[in-house]
Amino acid sequence: MPIQYYIYFCLALFSLGVVGVLTRRNAIIVFMCIELMLNAVNLILVAFSKMHSGIAAQNGATNTAGIDAQIFVFFIMVVAAAEVSIGLAIIVMMYRNTRSIDINFLNRLKN
């Protein structure tokens, strides 16, 4: 499986996530699209790790090349989980104060 196919696929997922962030106004949906992006990245990292592992296996030696990417994916998931919890808490806060979860409502940064 040429690596490009995986890259294309993940790019498509990632750009779908970008479109979602730019397009939707519901804060929760935006958050979910961020998670989508993170997942796309995870997948590409794993694909690269397998690529390197495959190359190493071709060149001989049974070393564990490319395992770093999978560890990285592991930690990405960790961080994503933590971030989700905080983010949702903020959204709940926002709802409590403004009775709305429209991101255009938060324009305190104006001017």
Partner 1 sequence: MNVLEIIFYILSAFALICATMVLVSKNPIHSVLWLILVFFAISGHYILLNAQFLAIVNIIVYAGAIMVLFLFVIMLINVNKDSEPKKQLFVKLIGVITGGSFLILFISLIKQALPLVGKTVLLKEGNIGLIHPLGKALFNDYVVPFEISSVLFLSAMVGAVLIGKK
Partner 2 sequence: MGIMKVLVGFIILWPLAGFLFNGLGRNYWSKKVIAYKATGYIVASFIASVFAFLYVQKHGAISVHYFDFINTDTIKIPFDFKVDALSALFLLVITGVGALIHLYSTSYMKEETAPHYARYFSYLNLFIFSMLILVLGDNFVVMFIGWEGVGLCSYLLIGYWFTNGNYNYAAKKAFIMNRIGDLGFLLAIFWLIVKLGSVNYNEVLTATSLAKLSTTDITGITLLLFVGAMGKSAQIPLFTWLPDAMAGPTPVSALIHAATMVTAGIYMITRSNILFSHSEITQNVIAIIGISTALLAATIAIKQNDIKKVLAYSTVSQLGYMFLGLGVGAYSGAVFHVITHAFFKALLFLGAGSVIHAMHHEQDIRKMGGLKSKLPITHLTFLIGCIAIAGVPPFSGFFSKDEILAAAFAKSPIYWVLGVIGAAMTAFYMFRLYTTTFLGNFRGTIDQESHLHESPVAMTLPLILLAVASALAGAIGFPEIMGGHHWLSHQLIPIVGEPHELGLAHSIEWVLMSVSVSIACIALVLAIFIYKKKTDEEPTTLVGKFFYHKWHIDELYNQAIVQPLNRFAGFLKYVIEKKVIDGAVNGTGKMVQYSARKVRLIQNGQVGYYILFMVVGIILLFMIWFNDTKILFFFNKLTKN
Which residues bind to partner 2, rule: CB under 8 A? 18, 21-22, 25, 103-104, 106-111
Question: Least distance from C-beta 21 to partner 2, angstroms?
Answer: 6
- Under 8 Å between Cβ of 69 and 49: yes
C-alpha distances (whole Å) from 52 to each of 22, 25, 44, 58 are 34, 40, 12, 10
Residue 106 binds partner 1 (CB under 8 A): no
> 6 or 61: whose CB is closer to partner 1?
6
Tally Cβ neighbours within 10 Å of residue 4: 8
Which amino acid, one-letter code, is at 84?
V
Residue 35 CB, nearest approach to partner 2 (Å):
16
CB of 111 to partner 1, least distance (A): 21
Give 7: exposed, middle or buried? Use CB within 10 Å, 0-12, 13-18, 19+. Answer: middle
CA 69 to CA 100: how far, in whole Å?
40
Q: Residues 74 to 103: which contact partner 1 by CB under 8 A? A: 74-75, 77-86, 88-93, 95-96, 100-102
The residue (of 21 and 65) whose beta carbon lies closer to partner 2 is 21
Which residue, 21 or 43, has its beta carbon nearer to partner 2? 21
Q: Decide whether 34 or 69 has the Cβ nearer to partner 2.
A: 34
